[in-house]
């Protein structure tokens, strides 16, 4: 059998992670903002700094970071549980999401001691929100073609260029940006480096971009000769591409790649319980559960690899591709179902939640690597090129 698929073996959550779930549920019962389902459906694009700081008070921002830095020192399984509970409740986690999932672990792995001492405690305290500067106006899926450039100068670097579609840049304190430090765009992956950029310094302008649902969750960021200190470089100069790749297994394998429509799924199930369900509706609901069970187990299998320190990047691409297809299918199918009879009443909250998700569902398979990129990676993993 293709060895790519060998990673996907049924894995149970260890007891300590299940025990942690009770704490998270207890927290959510007390602190989850009471808002309607169409707001909760924003899930990991819903921004609420106060909520993130409540989580941080418990060590749950930077959950996997060492306790010495203010993290909880818990493993990937515990993070899986936390994320699963937050997302299925529709908690507004956007503020700390990137820092917890990627920036913190990246700084821990590649950062200098000084960077770790400065940034990690702030991340864990919910006082440093991060965004990731990847795409540029002319570099989307072809990320290696980035043109933003940092050039050496007295005491550090000067950065010019622009980033776009950067999630939460207008709310974030820092950006970790992938930029060119040597060579030309034709040199592709070599000559790229990662910098931590304080977004409050001079020369940076940030323009939120309003999306089709009326939200502004991403931004365009312009850098005009921004002075960066020596200590802004993360990891090694020229190793940016390799470092970015090390994050991908974390970014693409988690529950956020199949839970984006779970608030809607639960709301619809409640509606069916109240109003009664036809055989077709029951089977459709069951098909979602069937797929969700399988996806969750695929994701858990990779969580076990992450917990062992492995980096299953191609396997994560597989989970993300099939997972986002699933979370996109849910609002499409429910829209058809609840409007199958034009004479039947439709619950307003359910209607709005379905409509919102159908509007934004295309982003599920864009953010974090497009479907086409992922399928190319999977094909390579299958030995096809």
Q: List residues binding other proteins (CB under 8 A).
A: 1-2, 4-5, 8-13, 84-85, 87-88, 259, 262, 265-266, 269, 272-273, 277, 279, 281-298, 301, 318, 321-322, 372, 374-376, 378-379, 382-385
Decide whether 67 or 290 has the Cβ nearer to other proteins: 290
- CB of residue 317 to other proteins, shortest distance in Å: 9
Q: C-alpha dihedral over 230, 240, 174, 116, to 10 degrees?
A: -70
Decide whether 149 or 296 has the Cβ nearer to other proteins: 296
Rg (CA), the chain: 21
d(CA 61, CA 250): 15
Query: Is-contact 82 60, C-beta < 8 A?
Result: yes
Query: Is-contact 265 330, C-beta < 8 A?
Result: yes
- CB of residue 267 to other proteins, shortest distance in Å: 10
- CB of residue 147 to other proteins, shortest distance in Å: 25
- CB of residue 39 to other proteins, shortest distance in Å: 17
Helix (H) or strand (E) holding 179: strand 174-180
Decide whether 136 or 281 has the Cβ nearer to other proteins: 281
Question: How many contiguous H segments (helices) and E segments (strands) does the chain have?
Answer: 13, 8
Structure tokens at 201: 């310094």
Decide whether 229 or 286 has the Cβ nearer to other proteins: 286
Question: DSSP string of 151-171?
Answer: EEETTEEEEEEEEEEEETTTT
| Crossing angle between the packed helical segments 313-338 and 240-252, to the nearest 10 degrees | 40
- The alpha-helical segments, DSSP class H, found in 61-100 are 76-89, 94-98
Which residues does 382 contact at the CB level (< 8 Å), separation at least 6? 2, 4
Decide whether 5 or 340 has the Cβ nearer to other proteins: 5
Decide whether 276 or 309 has the Cβ nearer to other proteins: 276
d(CA 276, CA 269): 10
Decide whether 109 or 375 has the Cβ nearer to other proteins: 375
Structure tokens at 58: 């418990």
- CB of residue 331 to other proteins, shortest distance in Å: 14
- CB of residue 40 to other proteins, shortest distance in Å: 12
Query: Is-contact 172 236, C-beta < 8 A?
Result: no
- CB of residue 354 to other proteins, shortest distance in Å: 16
Decide whether 47 or 326 has the Cβ nearer to other proteins: 326
- CB of residue 18 to other proteins, shortest distance in Å: 9
């Amino acid at each position: 059998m293709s060895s790519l698929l060998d990673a996907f073996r049924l894995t149970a959550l260890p007891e300590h992670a299940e025990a942690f779930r009770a704490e998270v549920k207890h927290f959510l019962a007390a602190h989850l903002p009471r808002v309607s389902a169409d707001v909760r459906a924003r899930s990991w694009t819903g921004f609420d700094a106060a909520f993130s700081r409540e989580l941080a008070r418990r060590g749950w921002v930077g959950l996997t970071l060492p306790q010495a830095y203010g993290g909880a020192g818990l493993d990937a399984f515990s993070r899986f549980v936390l994320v699963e509970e937050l997302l299925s409740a529709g908690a507004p986690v956007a503020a700390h999401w990137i820092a917890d999932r990627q920036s913190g672990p990246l700084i821990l792995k590649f950062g200098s001691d000084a960077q770790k001492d400065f940034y990690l405690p702030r991340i864990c305290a919910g006082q440093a929100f991060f965004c990731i500067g990847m795409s540029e106006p002319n570099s989307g899926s072809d990320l290696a073609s980035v043109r933003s450039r940092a050039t050496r100068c007295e005491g550090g670097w000067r950065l010019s260029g622009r980033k776009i579609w950067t999630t939460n840049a207008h709310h974030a304190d820092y950006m970790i940006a992938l930029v060119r430090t040597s060579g030309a765009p034709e040199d592709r992956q070599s000559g790229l480096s990662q910098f931590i950029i304080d977004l409050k310094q001079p020369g940076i302008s940030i323009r939120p971009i309003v999306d089709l649902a009326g939200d502004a969750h991403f931004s365009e960021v312009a850098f005009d000769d921004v002075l960066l200190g020596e200590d802004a470089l993360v990891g090694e100069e020229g190793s940016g591409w390799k470092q970015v790749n090390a994050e991908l297994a974390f970014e693409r394998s988690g529950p956020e790649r199949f839970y984006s429509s779970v608030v809607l799924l639960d709301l619809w199930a409640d509606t069916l319980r109240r109003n009664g369900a036809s055989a077709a509706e029951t089977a459709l609901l069951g098909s979602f559960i069937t797929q969700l069970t399988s996806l969750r187990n695929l994701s858990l299998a990779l969580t076990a690899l992450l917990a062992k320190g492995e980096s299953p990047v191609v396997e994560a691409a597989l989970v993300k591709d099939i997972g986002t297809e699933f979370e996109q299918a849910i609002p499409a199918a429910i829209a058809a179902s609840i409007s199958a009879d034009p004479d039947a009443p439709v619950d307003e909250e359910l209607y709005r939640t379905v409509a919102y998700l159908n509007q934004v569902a295309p982003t599920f398979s864009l953010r974090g690597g497009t479907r086409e990129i992922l399928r190319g990676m999977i094909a390579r993993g299958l030995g096809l090129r």
